[in-house]
C-alpha cells in the first residue's frame, strides 16, 4: 500500500505482516490482543516508539478490523488479503475462522473483496460494440431529422449550407 503512495488512517492486527515503514507512517495503530490479554505484536510496535491501542478480542485480527470499520459507520469496506472463499475458511483449520465467518455475516453487504473490485473494472469496450453504438446513434438522429417537425425545420435551414459544402467538395475532387 505504501509503495503506491497511500497512507492508512488506522492499522489493525497482530503486526506480524506490517512493515516498519507502514507502522511509522502516522496511522493510528491498534494491536489485537487475545482474550487472555497477551498481544504478540505489542513489543515490536513499542520498540519502534509507537504507543498503540491494545484491543483484546476473542476473534481474529481480521474480525477486529472489520467490526471496527462497521462500528465507525463505514458504508463500504474493501478488504485486501482477507479470507474470501469457503476453501480459504476450511483450509486454515483454525478455531478463529468461525468468528471470521460470523463477522462477515454481521458486516454484510458493506464488505467487498479487493479482488472482486478489480474484476469489475477490468473489462474493456470492444471496438465492434463501440461502432454498433455509433451506428445506432447515427440512425436515431437520421430518423429524428426525417420525421420530426424540428428535424424538418433544421433540414430546411441547413439545406443551402449542405449544398454549398457538397459543391465545394466536388470542386476539390475535380
Q: Residue 123's pLDDT is what?
A: 65
Q: Residue 93's pLDDT is what?
A: 59
Q: Which three cell numbers stand for residue 142?
A: 437520421
Q: Taking the domains of the chain in order of start, what are their residue ranges?
A: 2-120, 127-173
Chunked into runs of 10 residues, the chain (174 residues) has average pLDDT values of 76 86 90 86 92 87 88 86 69 66 86 76 79 95 89 85 89 86
Q: Residue 1's pLDDT is what?
A: 59
Q: Do 110 and 68 contact (CB within 8 A), yes or no?
A: no
Q: Residue 82's pLDDT is what?
A: 74
Please state whether beta strands 10-13 and 28-33 pair in parallel, antiparallel, or not at all (unpaired): parallel
Q: Residue 84's pLDDT is what?
A: 66
- Note the helical H segments in the chain: 20-23, 42-47, 61-71, 86-92, 97-107, 114-120, 127-147, 149-173
Amino acid at each position: 500500500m505504501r509503495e503506491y503512495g497511500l497512507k492508512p488512517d488506522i492499522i489493525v492486527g497482530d503486526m506480524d505482516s506490517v512493515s516498519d515503514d507502514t507502522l511509522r507512517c502516522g496511522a493510528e495503530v491498534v494491536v489485537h490482543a487475545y482474550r487472555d490479554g497477551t498481544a504478540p505484536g505489542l513489543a515490536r510496535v513499542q520498540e519502534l516508539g509507537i504507543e498503540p491501542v491494545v484491543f483484546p478480542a476473542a476473534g481474529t485480527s481480521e474480525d477486529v478490523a472489520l467490526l471496527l470499520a462497521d462500528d465507525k459507520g463505514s458504508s463500504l469496506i474493501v478488504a485486501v488479503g482477507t479470507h474470501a472463499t469457503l476453501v480459504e475458511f476450511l483450509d486454515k483449520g483454525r478455531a478463529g475462522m468461525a468468528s471470521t465467518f460470523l463477522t462477515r455475516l454481521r458486516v454484510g453487504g458493506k464488505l467487498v473483496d479487493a479482488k472482486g473490485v478489480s474484476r469489475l473494472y477490468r473489462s474493456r469496450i470492444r471496438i465492434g460494440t463501440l461502432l454498433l453504438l455509433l451506428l445506432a446513434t447515427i440512425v436515431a438522429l437520421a430518423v429524428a431529422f426525417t420525421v420530426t417537425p424540428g428535424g424538418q425545420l433544421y433540414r430546411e435551414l441547413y439545406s443551402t449550407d449542405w449544398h454549398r459544402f457538397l459543391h465545394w467538395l466536388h470542386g476539390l475532387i475535380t
